């Protein structure tokens, strides 16, 4: 059957839309994997095959959590996970990871060759597991470090204070206190993180991470505005529900990181409320990496809209095509069934004939009664070769 020009054009248009849908899908998935701070659950799970959940809790400055509150939450998390028989992936692995941080303002750091003004983020827990900045030299600071006088600086601060980025182990002075450079990092290079950094913090300043103890000399007074948590999702222990239902910490905003970039979440929570997202009623303080994630959500919402636009016409076309094919075969179903039945009868007759032939062949073969022509007890005559 020859297709009309109009039908050919419709097929080409739908093919182009499907190709565009594929490109948009690849772009969507690429953006989902851009922000490393949003994929700690995947890194923590590794190759284990288990499902892990990641949750971010955000607080305002006055409602932030102290280290004592975090310790209370850790004890509750231990009890909850123990009751559900959640075990570590390996004997040496932690049952969960958490990280807490807050913007600590700006400070001036003095090195051998100059003074750098920096945006300071006070950190604790496994912060650099959630935020694996590219290390240029040295290492990260960790919760189990024997001393709390080490800091992590970005490469801009390293060049200003020392004229090099290979400065791990060097000393800097801040407010009369001496700290050791544990490592030098390179800030995120994706456009979302760059833009969020410039909008959230002073873009003219460097970035330095310090142990929260520097700002908590009175103990249990410094308040964190961001708390991140990841562990296994097992049975009825869904990590997001753990944080929502606890009374130990009461965040102003809870983010289910695992689902925030899912297509349905983007369509329902971002695209469906796109006009209202500019209205901020939550007092929670967003660190720059969370603002980067919000910017990514906005772009994903636009991509999702175009994905829907590209997907609807082909779906409608194939539904119409299916209806047309069913209409064309209407009334011919009995004929097709009869032909199929005839073929089946032919197959059965041929099979029956083959079976009968096999039976006749078996009956014509002489039966072996176990006796030879000389009798059962008589030996066969001995054979002698004729003389040459």
Q: Is residue 55 included in any domain, yes or no?
A: yes
- Give pLDDT tens digits for 317-375: 999 888 877 777 765 656 666 666 777 888 888 888 888 887 777 776 665 555 454 44
Q: What are phi and psi of 335, to 5 degrees?
A: -65, -45
- pLDDT of the residue at 384: 44
Question: What is the spatial distance between Cα 268 and Cα 169, in angstroms, rounded to a whole number?
Answer: 49
Q: Is residue 356 included in any domain, yes or no?
A: no
What angle is formed at CA 191 by the lines to CA 208 and CA 130, rounded to 5 degrees? Answer: 50
Question: 104 pLDDT exceeds 80?
Answer: yes
- Give pLDDT tens digits for 204-214: 999 999 999 99
Domain that holds residue 210: 33-258
- pLDDT of the residue at 64: 87
Q: Is residue 221 included in any domain, yes or no?
A: yes
Question: 275 pLDDT exceeds 70?
Answer: no
Q: Is residue 23 included in any domain, yes or no?
A: no
Alpha-carbon Rg for the chain in angstroms: 37
Section 109-121 average pLDDT: 95
Q: Is residue 168 included in any domain, yes or no?
A: yes
Q: Is residue 38 included in any domain, yes or no?
A: yes
Q: Provide the domain count of the chain.
A: 1
Q: Is residue 67 included in any domain, yes or no?
A: yes
| Residue 98: Cβ within 10 Å count | 23
Question: 387 pLDDT exceeds 50?
Answer: no
Q: Is residue 139 included in any domain, yes or no?
A: yes
């Amino acid at each position: 059957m020859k297709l009309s020009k109009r039908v050919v054009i419709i097929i080409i248009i739908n093919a182009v839309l499907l190709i565009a849908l594929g490109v948009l899908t690849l772009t969507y998935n690429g953006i989902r994997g851009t922000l490393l701070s949003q994929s700690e659950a995947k890194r923590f799970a590794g190759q284990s095959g288990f499902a892990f959940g990641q949750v971010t809790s955000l607080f305002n400055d006055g409602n932030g959590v102290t280290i004592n509150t975090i310790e209370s939450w850790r004890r509750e998390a231990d009890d909850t996970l123990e009751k559900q028989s959640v075990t570590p992936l390996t004997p040496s692995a932690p049952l969960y990871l958490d990280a807490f941080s807050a913007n600590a303002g700006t400070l001036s750091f003095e090195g051998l060759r100059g003074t750098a003004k920096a945006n300071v983020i006070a950190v604790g827990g496994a912060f650099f597991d959630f935020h694996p900045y590219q290390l240029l030299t040295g290492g990260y600071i960790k919760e189990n470090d024997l001393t709390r006088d080490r800091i992590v600086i970005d490469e801009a601060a390293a060049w200003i204070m020392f004229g090099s980025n290979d400065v791990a182990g060097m000393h800097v002075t801040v407010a009369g206190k001496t700290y050791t450079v544990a490592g030098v990092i390179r800030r995120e290079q994706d456009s979302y993180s760059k833009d969020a950094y410039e909008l959230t913090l002073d873009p003219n300043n460097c970035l330095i991470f310090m142990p929260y103890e520097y700002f908590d000399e009175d103990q249990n007074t410094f308040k964190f505005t961001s708390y991140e948590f990841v562990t296994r999702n097992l049975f009825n222990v869904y990590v997001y529900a753990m944080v929502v239902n606890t009374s130990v910490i009461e965040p102003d905003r809870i983010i289910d990181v695992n689902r925030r970039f899912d297509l349905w979440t983007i369509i329902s929570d971002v695209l469906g409320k796109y006009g209202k997202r500019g209205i901020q009623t939550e007092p929670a303080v967003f660190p720059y990496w969370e603002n980067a994630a919000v910017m990514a959500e906005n772009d994903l919402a636009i991509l999702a809209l175009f994905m829907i636009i590209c997907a609807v016409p082909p779906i409608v076309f194939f539904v119409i095509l299916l209806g047309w094919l069913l209409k064309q075969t209407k009334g011919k179903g009995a004929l097709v069934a009869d032909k199929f039945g005839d073929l089946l009868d032919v197959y059965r007759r041929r099979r029956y004939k083959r079976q009968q032939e096999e039976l006749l062949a078996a009956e014509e073969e002489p039966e072996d009664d176990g006796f030879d022509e000389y009798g059962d007890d008589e030996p066969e005559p001995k054979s002698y070769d004729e003389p040459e």
